[in-house]
Amino acid sequence: MSLSSLKTTSLQRFSLNFAANIIAALWMLVGSTRAFSWVKPTFFQFALFAALALSSNVLFSWLAAESGSVFNEQGLVSYLIWPVIILLGGIILARRLGNQGLLFVPVVLWLVADTLSALLQSLVQFFGHQGWLPEWSYSLLPILFLLLFLWQTIALLWIFSRRLRAPWWERIIVLIGAVALLTIWQNNVADQPIFKQTLMQPVLDEAALYEQPRLLQQALDSLDPSVLGQTDWYFMGVAGFAGQDVFRSEINHARELFDVRFGTSGRSLSLINNTYSWLDEPVATKTSILQSLKTIGQKMNADEDVLLLTLSSHGNEDILQLENAPVEMDSLEAVWLREALDSAGIRWRVIIISACYSGSFIDDLASPTTVVITASAADKMSFGCTNSAEMTYFGQAFFAESLRENTSFATAFKDASLRIQERESFMGFEPSEPQMAIGSLMETALPAFEQALFNQRPTPSDSSFDNNESSSVNNANKADNATAETAVIVE
């Protein structure tokens, strides 16, 4: 049966026409001309599916949008271009073949397919927010969404070319041209979603320029000198990436744990990169890190005391990101950190790094008097850096759980590794494989150092700290299981 003789009889009930059009679109998507036997291209069906397709795409754009996005009229116009083009194609086809029943056939089939595609994309995006997708799938989602968009249009062209009995070579040319055109168009309008984040140039308050030196000096001046004849632990925390609160929260939780439970109060400081803390906390730059290490080195006894240095941020091989717009900062390299520790005269060190690829720091930081603990292997990512979480997967397992239940770093590390492995397996993520390296001299000295650290007697206030920390961890668990970011659950 040719398109010129195609009869599209409407059914008696609106709901039956609705269901028939969905079936027609499904046949179209598998490349079958049976779609023409099912399609019911009435004006009201066209109007309904036009509204549904638009609503579905608005929903998807809203789910895919970053926090703070606003409605973008340009994105709406960009979306409406293709339904209008396909409607015009139906009008031309109906006039050329002398069959007015064809007028809404192409656009109804395309709109139904687009509605189903947008709903599927919305569901996938929702699963991504919940953290229910395997880690490897996030990089493939843009390609999947592009293929879905191409599929519905290519399928439409395919069934029409078959019914029009176009030569095979003509079909191939049309399909290749359509793929090229649609891909170029989709890539060009990718930065014009229906909901778009308004980019604002970050600014720095004038007061912060003068407050930062005072904040850093105040933090350094507050460090107590060590007591001769006993082992004192010093804590230094670095939150490197300002764009997500989880790094600041993780360092603050770790510092609170060591100050309250392990007695480092008066011998601890934090350097925090965070968009909202310029006037409250000293920022983490290479300069402030170097100055802090030198001051700690002067305060502590190199033979008796230990520095626990913990860093939390995004990372890459041999790199820990330091970012706090609008100031442009250099990233922290493993070799640089080793040289900074050496020049500060800090001999005994426990270094904990919570970041992707943090295992790559081990070779450069390792020494006979150093313990290095990392959230991942050198070639692995670590997880949990979502805006809703209080700590990363590693930070929660190691600081909030394992260190509170064990009296050695090695035992706490093994316990935390098992917790992380279970959680990553449940979430479908590739194992991060946390690492721990203990220097030869530190292996002998560490039990005595740990006894000085873990034998601190909790004060009455510790019980309230335990309750608050437990509550925070439970909240972090719920938030992590309920929400996860796309372009960003890896560190």
3-state DSSP of 333-387: EHHHHHHHHHHCCCCEEEEEEECCCHHHHHHHHCCCCEEEEECCCCCCCCECCCC
What pLDDT does residue 402 have? 94
Rg of the chain taking only CA atoms, in angstroms: 30
Which residues have a Cβ under 8 Å from the Cβ of 421 and sit 6 or more positions away?
431
Q: What is the pLDDT along the chain (491 residues), one digit of tens a residue?
A: 577 878 888 888 999 999 999 999 999 999 999 999 999 999 999 999 999 999 999 999 998 887 778 888 888 888 888 899 999 999 998 998 888 888 999 999 999 999 999 999 999 989 888 878 876 777 788 888 888 888 999 999 999 988 888 888 887 888 888 788 777 777 666 677 888 876 666 677 888 888 999 999 999 999 999 999 999 999 999 999 998 899 999 999 999 999 998 999 999 999 999 988 899 999 999 999 999 999 999 999 999 999 999 999 999 988 999 999 888 899 999 999 999 999 999 999 999 999 999 999 999 999 999 999 999 999 999 998 877 789 999 999 999 999 988 889 999 999 999 999 999 888 888 899 999 999 999 999 999 999 999 876 454 444 444 444 444 434 434 434 333 333 334 55
CATH 3.20.20.70 fits 212-482, yes or no: no
Distance, CA of 468 to CA of 312 (rounded, Å): 22
- Whether 202 and 325 have beta carbons less than 8 Å apart is answered as yes
Longest pairwise C-alpha distance within the chain: 101
Structural domain spans, the chain: 3-197, 212-482
- Whether 286 and 322 have beta carbons less than 8 Å apart is answered as yes
Identity of the residue numbered 271: L
Which residues have a Cβ under 8 Å from the Cβ of 398 and sit 6 or more positions away?
352, 373, 412, 413, 416
In a 3-state reduction of DSSP, which class is residue 153?
helix
DSSP category for residue 10 = P
Which residues have a Cβ under 8 Å from the Cβ of 158 and sit 6 or more positions away?
31, 171, 175
- Whether 35 and 159 have beta carbons less than 8 Å apart is answered as yes
Distance, CA of 440 to CA of 491 (rounded, Å): 30
What pLDDT does residue 175 have? 81
What ranges make up the beta strands (E) of 233-367? 233-239, 268-272, 306-312, 315-316, 319-320, 332-333, 348-354
